[in-house]
Amino acid sequence: MVVQVQSLRYTPAGIPAVNLVLEHESQVVEMDTPRQVKLQLRAVAFGAQAEVLSRQGLDAVCEFHGFMTNQRNGKGVVFHIQDFSKT
């Protein structure tokens, strides 16, 4: 789910980019015990995906595909969105 979307910006090369915060919530079984999993994750999208996501309303439920990497400052991770679809 999208819980925060910043304003659309452009890289020095003129590529559209948007920073987001995504939230995941589910239940898994660990050692025969149900466990609630909830986390927020910083994300970024570029190009056409950035343009579409910048117009998404909050609480939009989507399935995201991409990869995770370190942030530029080395503190934490960021999920790079390469594709998504509404669910």
CATH number of residue 82's parent domain: 2.40.50.140
What gap in Å lies between CA 31 and CA 53, rounded to an integer? 38
What gap in Å lies between CA 26 and CA 6, rounded to an integer? 25
Check residue 45 and give its pLDDT: 97
Q: Range of 76's domain?
A: 2-86
Beta strands in 2-60 (DSSP E): 2-5, 9-10, 16-30, 33-46
Check residue 74 and give its pLDDT: 75
Tens digits of residue pLDDT in 38-51: 999 999 999 999 99
pTM reported for the whole predicted model: 0.86
Tens digits of residue pLDDT in 44-84: 999 999 999 998 878 888 899 999 999 877 789 999 999 99
For the chain, how many structural domains are there in total? 1
Per-residue pLDDT, averaged over 13-36, amounts to 96
